[in-house]
Structure 1
Amino acid sequence: MRLLIHHQTEYRYTEPQARVVQLLRLTPASHIGQNVVHWRIDVDCDARLKHATDGFGNVTSMLYLAGPVERIGLRVTGEVLTEDRAGVVSGAIETLPPMVFTRTTELTTPEESLLALAAEHDRASGDELSRVHAINSAVHAMIRCTEERSTEVRPVSEVIAAGRGCSMDMAHVLIAAARAAGFAARFVTGYIYRDDPGHGHRQAPHFWAEIDVPGFSWIGFDPANDMCPSDRYVRVAKGLDFRDAAPISGARVGGGHEVLNIGVDVSLSQGQLQS
């Protein structure tokens, strides 16, 4: 598919800020099955952008703004060619060994029901790939997916207690279950194209997990949709959990509160629509 991405983010502050520094993980990289044709980040105020690569291999941009800052508008636009590889990740930059992604974090600590799920799908229950598919489907059945993104980042125990959550929450639950079952697993941020009439294209970034399956290496699994990522997905950043791969994170110097508005539109290019 030839996908067009438009991602707008606006911050408004109730009081002027003396300084704002933000870390942006908003730029995807090309690899087998994903070719970035063009990509740009625009800021609608006087700011400095410094590009780099973090320890996970993510493309990052540091945004620096000197005060007084009352509003920040970010616009990301890009075009990406994708192929359906059944979730298999090949040719991507790997800066860390899979063993790093077996480490439990505050957000992905498994609780009793996930330990039971991992035990149910142990090595005696089938081959490695079938086990991971079964765990992904079990998480999909366990947590009701909500269209709205959670306003706070919650640990797995709270998500399971609520029985519902957004794609970010469900990715954390899958990661916790997969690690408990002995797999390396990591969090992934990106975008998804939807063409169902009842959904609409206006949405938030999408989140899923990648699991290191022996014999296959890294494969993506999306518990929110109970499937492996296809050519409708654009993969952007990865980490141990959301905090390592968040599209935007940072700090500000100043009082008051911030109000955040996010809008994402993923569509097909006109050329593909005509064909």
Structure 2
Amino acid sequence: MRIRIRHEITQRFDPGSRNMAVTVRLTPRSHEGQFILRWALDLNSDCRLAAQEDAFGNLCHTFSVVGPADHLSVIAEGEVETQDTTGIMHGTVERFPPSLFLRQTDLTETTPAVVAFAESVKGPEDDPLGQLHALMVALHEAVEEQEGPALGGPLSADAALLAGKSCSGGIAHLFTAAARHLGLPARHISGYLAPEGADEGVGVARHWAEAYAPKIGWISFDAGRNLCGTEHYVRLAVALDAMGVAPLRSTGLEIEEQVSAVDGRSPQKLAQAQSQVQS
């Protein structure tokens, strides 16, 4: 499947801001089931991008903006060829052993409520794959997905569970927190979801989780949709939680995002899929 993506981020600054340092995570990598055909970043500022990799192997770009400036716009655009691997990840950059992803963070803290939820779906230790699927189903039933800041500031695992509803990022936090409590390494993924039919319009930015099952490897789980990853997903970045996969990190005040991800075989024109403003 060929997917066309356009992701625009505009960040506003205090009037007259000067010398802003910016880090952008908006460049996906190729791996088995995902091949980057073309990809480009465009800025509204005259500066030089410095390409690098973060600790998890995500492709990043850093740059400085010499003010005064009141806003910054970044556009990532490209095409990706995908294939269905039934959610199993091969060929990804792996800088750390799976055991690192047992580490909890502030956003995946195992509060009493999260521990009780994880224990309620605990299964045989000799069947980690079955345990992970059971966790995904239970989470899908316990937390209703709603629209929200998929790439901005999703809820913590505890907040998502207590609210009974969350955006995809909060649901991913709850999945990773519960899986780690059960001794199953899990990590946070950012990316894009294209529609499963040309008549469904444009796609969205999205978060999901990957968990590690011995003898199989890393497997993607989207508990909000109650399925493992398919060819309709484009994987962008990986980390312990949403903070680590933030598409743009700087000192700005507000962020506005517009995202589209469509089946590249469709003649449909790219259109706005998601717009969000955060302080």
Same-fold call, TM > 0.5?
Answer: yes
Query: CA RMSD of the aligned region, Å?
Result: 2.1
2:227 aligns to what?
A: 227
TM-fit CA distance, 1:54: 1.0
TM-fit CA distance, 1:265: 0.7
**What secondary structure, in the 3-state scheme, does the structure 2 residue paired with 1:251 have?**
coil
**What secondary structure, in the 3-state scheme, does the structure 2 residue paired with 1:137 have?**
helix
Task: Report the Cα distance in structure 2 between the residues aligned to 1:39 and 1:178, rounded to whole angstroms.
Answer: 34
Identity %: 31
Report the number of matched residues. 267
Distance 1:126 1:137, change over 3 A: farther
TM-fit CA distance, 1:65: 0.5
Distance 1:178 1:9, change over 3 A: same
Q: Residue by residue, what CA displacement relative to the aligned partner does 1:17-61 show, whole Å, maximum 9, x if unpaired?
A: 112211111111111100001111000121221100111011110
TM-fit CA distance, 1:209: 0.5
Q: How does 1:94-243 map to 2 (within 5 A)?
A: 94-124=94-124, 127-149=127-149, 152-195=153-196, 200-201=201-202, 203=204, 205-243=205-243
Q: Residue by residue, what CA displacement relative to the aligned partner does 1:118-143 show, whole Å, maximum 9, x if unpaired?
A: 22333438721111011011111111
Would you say 1:269 and 2:264 are equivalent positions? Answer: yes
Q: Structure 1 unaligned segments of length 5 or more: list them.
A: 253-257
Q: How does 1:44-59 map to 2 (within 5 A)?
A: 44-59=44-59
* Aligned residue identity for 1:112: P
- Identify which range, 7-16 or 161-170, moves more after superposition: 7-16
Q: Structure 2 unaligned segments of length 5 or more: list them.
A: 269-279
Question: Is residue 180–residue 186 contact of structure 2 (8 Å, CA) maintained in 1?
Answer: yes
Task: Report the Cα distance in structure 2 between the residues aligned to 1:213 and 1:170, rounded to whole angstroms.
Answer: 20
TM-fit CA distance, 1:108: 0.2
Question: Is residue 27–residue 59 contact of structure 2 (8 Å, CA) maintained in 1?
Answer: yes
Task: Report the Cα distance in structure 1 between the residues aligned to 2:98 and 2:142, rounded to whole angstroms.
Answer: 27
Question: Is residue 198–residue 263 contact of structure 2 (8 Å, CA) maintained in 1?
Answer: no
**What secondary structure, in the 3-state scheme, does the structure 2 residue paired with 1:57 have?**
coil
Task: Report the Cα distance in structure 2 between the residues aligned to 1:153 and 1:122, rounded to whole angstroms.
Answer: 26
Task: Report the Cα distance in structure 1 between the residues aligned to 2:41 and 2:222, rounded to whole angstroms.
Answer: 27
Task: Report the Cα distance in structure 1 between the residues aligned to 2:140 and 2:134, rounded to whole angstroms.
Answer: 10
Question: Is residue 19–residue 69 contact of structure 1 (8 Å, CA) maintained in 2?
Answer: no
2:70 aligns to what?
A: 70
1:251 aligns to what?
A: 251
2:89 aligns to what?
A: 89
Structure with more relative contact order (C-alpha pairs < 8 Å, separation 6 or more): 1
**What secondary structure, in the 3-state scheme, does the structure 1 residue paired with 2:84 have?**
coil
Q: Residue by residue, what CA displacement relative to the aligned partner does 1:229-273 show, whole Å, maximum 9, x if unpaired?
A: 100000011001111111111235xxxxx3321111111224799
- Identify which range, 10-19 or 166-175, moves more after superposition: 10-19
